[in-house]
A and B are shown apart, each in its own frame.
Chain A
């Protein structure tokens, strides 16, 4: 009896526990709309980035770059052949082997640009607590391309090799963890990203344009 009365007293007193103020409906709705619009915009960007057309485009660009490199090598090897592009003096003379490698470097640069965009979106998506199947498939595709590039002459460049190896590690972690397995584990990936400073280094490695610094060299 006394216990019941004390319970009633507790329940009454408990009404004061974290008594909520008036619900800020409009403020929260404005934020919800803003977040949803931003996420829709980002999803659209990723859809474009990972659309078959973009993939085809990037593949063609890489193939073209490699083709040009091989072509230039062949022309350069022919006695008496005139160079098609005037090589700027600052760039210095380019050896035929180096020309071939430059083609792979172009492909690697394009790849790092995609990786940087992906990792930036990954971090933002994780903070926002969202992801979708399309997003995860993007990580898998990037991982495959990273491994291909690691086996290519692009990886002869020590700067590219280190970046590609670190990128491979991060992508393996991302691919292995699904969003459903828990935000905490994915947070470890972002913490690792931030600790290792991979994103700033990727940004440094990517020139302002896809071929900045390489104009006229090939």
Chain B
């Protein structure tokens, strides 16, 4: 169905159209939220909030970009603000947790690549991580990422390049081992 007609039906209060809009986009929104949070409850919460806001503000959608782009810009904002709150709450427990984890890790033993890569991705600055997850993991195009983040396509490309460089740097010893 034509996107404009679907939006018009949603604005007219058609519940079938609302569900159709949700079904079309929920998969990608939820996947992105899960990739960014690593937590099912948070991902559900953020995906739900994205759609609630989208339905509330649909009249403000001017149709200059695709609906999915507009929806993703809401999703990125919801996830970013949501994670800021979560991090603030978690900050109190971090010291204790880190101490416990340091005690548990045997010295000199490297965890496998996946674990180290996950830790390195988590350590990336928010912008780098978002671009890396969206492009290299979820397969978004730079144009989509740029529109969702409200930046230029070149910025998205540059951030991806820096994100990859940081990951290579973080896993340098592993790369050497792997090359030999």
A interface residues with partner B (beta carbon < 8 Å): 2-3, 6-7, 9-11, 13-18, 20-21, 23-25, 27-29, 31-32, 35-36, 39, 129-130, 183
B34 in contact with A18 (CB, 8 Å): yes
Complex interface: chain A residues within 8 A of B175 (CB): 6
Partner of B48, one of A7, A15, A28: A28
Contact status of A28 and B30, CB under 8 A, knowing A35-B48, A130-B56: yes
Partner of B118, one of A17, A39, A129: A17
Complex interface: chain A residues within 8 A of B167 (CB): 10
Give min CB distance, A7 to chain B, whole Å: 6
Give min CB distance, B34 to chain A, whole Å: 4
Count contacts on B: residues with CB < 8 A to the other chain.
40
Interface centre among A16, A28, A35 (most CB of B within 10 A): A28
Complex interface: chain A residues within 8 A of B56 (CB): 130
**B92 at the A/B interface (Cβ < 8 Å)?**
no
A23 in contact with B137 (CB, 8 Å): no
**B147 at the A/B interface (Cβ < 8 Å)?**
no
What string of 1s and 0s marks CB contacts (under 8 Å) between B153-164 and chain A?
Answer: 000000000001
**B52 at the A/B interface (Cβ < 8 Å)?**
yes
Give min CB distance, B71 to chain A, whole Å: 13
Give min CB distance, B145 to chain A, whole Å: 16
**B114 at the A/B interface (Cβ < 8 Å)?**
yes
Chain A interface: which of B35-43, B58-66, B95-103?
B35-43
B52 in contact with A23 (CB, 8 Å): no
Contact status of A32 and B164, CB under 8 A, knowing A9-B178, A14-B137: no
Complex interface: chain A residues within 8 A of B178 (CB): 6, 9
Query: Which DSSP category, helix, strand, loop or mixed, fits chain A's interface?
Result: helix
B168 in contact with A36 (CB, 8 Å): no
- With contacts A6-B175, A28-B30, A36-B55 known, what are 4 further pairs, Cβ within 8 A? A9-B113, A14-B137, A21-B34, A28-B44
B136 in contact with A14 (CB, 8 Å): yes
Would you mind naming 7 contact pairs between A and B with Cβ atoms under 8 Å apart? A14-B117, A16-B118, A17-B114, A18-B37, A24-B40, A29-B22, A32-B22
B121 in contact with A32 (CB, 8 Å): no
Complex interface: chain A residues within 8 A of B26 (CB): 23, 25, 28-29
Complex interface: chain B residues within 8 A of A24 (CB): 30, 40, 44
A13, B19: Cα distance in complex, Å: 35
B117 in contact with A20 (CB, 8 Å): no
B31 in contact with A23 (CB, 8 Å): yes
**B3 at the A/B interface (Cβ < 8 Å)?**
no
Give min CB distance, B179 to chain A, whole Å: 6
Contact status of A23 and B117, CB under 8 A, knowing A15-B137, A29-B19, A129-B53: no
Give min CB distance, A162 to chain B, whole Å: 32
Please, which residue of chain A has its CB at the minimum distance from the CB of B36?
Answer: A18
Please, which residue of chain B has its CB at the minimum distance from the CB of A6?
Answer: B175
A130, B52: Cα distance in complex, Å: 10
Complex interface: chain B residues within 8 A of A10 (CB): 117, 136, 164, 167-168, 171
B47 in contact with A28 (CB, 8 Å): yes
A16, B27: Cα distance in complex, Å: 17
Complex interface: chain A residues within 8 A of B47 (CB): 28
Give min CB distance, B132 to chain A, whole Å: 8
Give min CB distance, A165 to chain B, whole Å: 31
Contact status of A11 and B114, CB under 8 A, knowing A6-B168, A6-B175: no
Complex interface: chain A residues within 8 A of B38 (CB): 18
Give min CB distance, A65 to chain B, whole Å: 39
Contact status of A13 and B114, CB under 8 A, knowing A7-B164, A183-B81: yes
Please, which residue of chain B has its CB at the minimum distance from the CB of A21?
Answer: B40
Complex interface: chain B residues within 8 A of A130 (CB): 56
